[in-house]
Amino acid sequence: MKILVTGFDPFGSEKINPALEAVKKLPTQISGAKIITLEIPTVFNEVGPIIQQAIQTYQPDLVLNVGQAGGRFNITVEKVAINLADARIADNQGNQPLDEAIFADGPTAYFTQLPVKAIVSALNENGIPAAVSYTAGTFVCNYVMYYVQHLISTRYPKIKGGFIHVPYIPAQVVTKPNQPAMSLEDIVKGLELAIAAMVTYNGLEDIKTIGGTEH
């Protein structure tokens, strides 16, 4: 089994992106699966084709994209991506799409193929705060998740894909009062546990447990 894991480059004035730093620290094998890592740009129009080229090159069984979600307390496993790019701020190349469809012929939304509740359970059982998320936002993270899901739907039906958001690391919140953070070591551990759960539940249904939200 081959798993392509991507992490975004630092965004805006940030000098570090914990998603990328954690991805770079992943071992080359997890639970028998070969791990292939890739740095991707925080740029709307560039990132999708880069991932598509990597899929063609490496032919992975699973694509896991990892991004930063500053302000979140937990590692959050995304359940759904929506067909909307609506950027509150510009990306790293100054692009700022407003109320645009990611694919004009795409459905309103896609659900991930990953066992999100099993992943969250594995992290929590090992002391890593995690939760299911039902919104990946409308910035480049959601764009990437939707883009990969559309590729799976239209070109690569045997591949599974998903997205995980990680919090700030402590060095990032020194000048951001009252913002939550998680150590890079715990983020790496969380991603390793998540990937192990993906391997374990490959071909199986997700577990049935509470994971919904009221708002």
165 is catalytic: yes
* Catalytic residue (one of 100, 165, 214, 215): 165
Tokens 């069984």 correspond to: 61
Q: 58 near 37, Cβ under 8 Å?
A: no
What is the phi/psi pair of residue 188, to 5°?
Answer: -60, -45
Question: Is 215 tagged catalytic?
Answer: no
Among candidate residues 100, 125, 141, 185, the one labeled active-site is 141
Which candidate in 39, 78, 100, 205 is catalytic? Answer: 78
Q: What is the DSSP string of the chain?
A: -EEEEEEEPPPTT-S--HHHHHHHTS-SEETTEEEEEEEE-S-HHHHHHHHHHHHHHH--SEEEEEEE-TT-SSEEEE-EEES-B--SS--TTS----SB-SSTTS-SEEE-SS-HHHHHHHHHHTT--EEEES---SSHHHHHHHHHHHHHHHT-TT-EEEEEEE---GGGSTTSTT-----HHHHHHHHHHHHHHHHHTTTSPPP--------
46 has catalytic annotation: no
Q: How many CB atoms lie within 10 A of CB 8?
A: 24
Q: Tell me the catalytic residues.
A: 78, 141, 165
